[in-house]
Amino acid sequence: MTSLAESGCLEADRGNGILVNIHVQPRASKNAFAGIHDGAVKLRITAPPVDGKANAQLIELLAKLFHVSKSAITLASGPQSRRKRFRVAGIDYDAALKILETTFA
């Protein structure tokens, strides 16, 4: 089994944050972290994928997960895709990895 660090879902971003790959499943029955899927953190969210609602809910969930403000998170790629990449400022790679490992333990 591939470890979280080896999965490629998380990268250091120029010394001031991280990049996290997300695979999103919109319109789920509840918000939940569902493990690692194809090199990305899989998140189930209740929001529909219309008018940016899913992206906004993802930003809220990531802000809570990584203990940063919503303004510290930006969508780097994939605004209309299930596969997204978010930039999270204000947290380093090691701290983010520890949070994810605790979440998926």
Domain ranges, residue 95: 10-103
Q: What is the pTM of this model?
A: 0.91
Average confidence (pLDDT) over 63-89: 96
Mean pLDDT for 74-82 is: 95
Pairwise pLDDT comparison (102 vs 105), residue with the higher score = 102
Is it the case that residue 41 has pLDDT exceeding 90? yes
- Token pair 């919109």: residue: 26
Is residue 2 situated within a structural domain? no
Q: What is the CATH number of the domain that holds 93?
A: 3.30.1200.10
pLDDT for position 2: 60
CA distances from 29 to 59, 70, 92 (A): 18, 23, 32
Q: Are 39 and 98 in contact (CB under 8 A)?
A: no
In a domain, 19, yes or no: yes
Q: In the predicted model, is pLDDT for residue 8 greater than 90?
A: no
Would residue 18 count as lying in a domain?
A: yes
Count of the separate structural domains present in the chain: 1
Confidence label for 54 from pLDDT (cuts 50, 70 and 90):
very high
Instruction: Report pLDDT for 16.
Output: 82
**For tokens 């990895």, what's the residue?**
97
Can you tell me the distance from the alpha carbon of 85 to that of 29, in angstroms, rounded to the nearest whole number? 23
